[in-house]
Amino acid sequence: MSYVFQTENKVLFVMKFVMGGELFSYLRKVQRFKEDNAKLYCAMLCHAIGYLHESGVVYRDLKPENVLIGEDGYLCVTDFGLAKQLYEGEVATTVAGTPEYMAPEILNQGTGIIPKGYSLPVDWWSIGCITFEMIVGLPPFYHHGQSTDRLFERVVNNPIKFPDEDPRYAKLHHKIPVSPDARDFLLRLLDKDPDTRLGSNGGLAEVLAHPWLASIDHESLLKKDLEPPYKPKVNKANALDVGNFDEVFTGEEAVLTAPHLKLDREE
């Protein structure tokens, strides 16, 4: 966020225009990434989430649609509408997020099965879901045409299955390679028990220490010295270049939302 100001009815944020479009759109275009490319993108997301967690912020809505690609090819997490500040010992209890990427402990809040709340580990689960999708082409618990209730049931109860174990990939995707280190990384992030999930006890350092991420020079990554998997084509001379965004969004009219009732200043 570059600047913030307010009127009587609105709070307005001024943010950098990230011209490369959504990770979601790019992933849909190429269907899936080579494992090494997915690894680099995963590391970028881990550093972003780790940075938030250091400040006690749980993001809660990490998904490809909320990840933008900068003109330099590096990822940028956006849309903090569901993010929440957690103070020491505090937990969240609201059912929030996007179904395909929500951790089981969030879903269980809606059933009363586990009313103790949830915390930062939900974001590591989401990174596991996104990384699986980048490598395989689909989120781990997604089935075409299934109901939301059935999806929730899979997230809470079913183990993840890799392409060589899952009939969903029998025709097109059964030969997708997933290395042993990547499998272990995903299985540990997608641990249904938040107390033993990768990242739950050692945070970012624990996640980065996993063998799958060991080949990445994280110091160079943070300096943006590593070559990204993809650099979007942008017209830097045109500040209104939205060519990397889906027309579903660029075709929408820019309309201010209706103002809420103004509260009395003394209230």
Annotated catalytic residue 79: no
Q: Which residues of 18-30 are buried (b: 16+ CB within 10 A; e: fewer)?
A: bbbbbbbbbbeee
| Closest alpha carbon to 228 in 15, 17, 43 | 43
φ, ψ for residue 3, nearest 5 deg:
-160, 155
Side chain identity, residue 232: P
In terms of Cβ atoms closer than 10 Å to its own Cβ (0-12, 13-18, 19+), residue 170 is exposed
Q: Which residue matches tokens 């749980």?
A: 58
| Closest alpha carbon to 53 in 85, 79, 78, 77 | 85
CA atoms of 229 and 64, how far apart (whole Å): 16
Beta strands in 44-181 (DSSP E): 57-58, 67-69, 75-77, 84-85
Residue 106 CA: distances (Å) to CA of 83, 247, 254, 261: 14, 33, 33, 32
Residue 151 CA: distances (Å) to CA of 33, 110, 159, 195: 24, 14, 12, 23
User: Of residues 61, 195, 241, 264, which has the active-site annotation?
Assistant: 61
Residues serving a catalytic function are 61
